[in-house]
Amino acid sequence: KLNLKFWHKSGIIECIRSRIKLLVVRDFKGGRNEMAFLKFFFQTALVLEEVVILLPDDPTDHMYRKVVSLRHIERASEASFTVGKQVCSSRLPSER
């Protein structure tokens, strides 16, 4: 199980804590493991500046509720939080 307890037991992940400034989550579904990792990430990422959550083309009410709940998680940084739908391409411009 990759729940929140698992992530806290794993200890500090240095690159999350002190290096990652941008987090992009593509095809967000709001599953239990995904939510646990994001909570851990938000609680430990000290230098995070921006979070972008991209929903699939046909998001469900469940996905919207989970995104809203992410906005209320206590965060280690004051990162901006953007939600959108995925574009046709699965790659970011820098990956092309």
Neighbours of 79 (CB within 10 A): 18
Sign of CA dihedral 31, 95, 76, 56: negative
Question: CB 52: neighbour CB atoms within 10 A?
Answer: 17
Which of 79, 76, 85 lies closest to 13, judged by CA?
76
Query: What's this model's pTM, rounded to 2 decimal places?
Result: 0.78
Question: From first to last of its 96 residues, what are the pLDDT tens digits of the chain?
Answer: 777 787 778 778 888 889 999 999 999 999 999 999 999 999 999 999 999 999 998 999 999 999 999 989 899 999 999 999 877 655 555 655
Which residue in this structure is represented by tokens 């990792």?
A: 37
pLDDT at 4: 77
Half-sphere exposure of 90 (CA within 13 A, CB side): 2
At residue 90, the pLDDT reads: 55
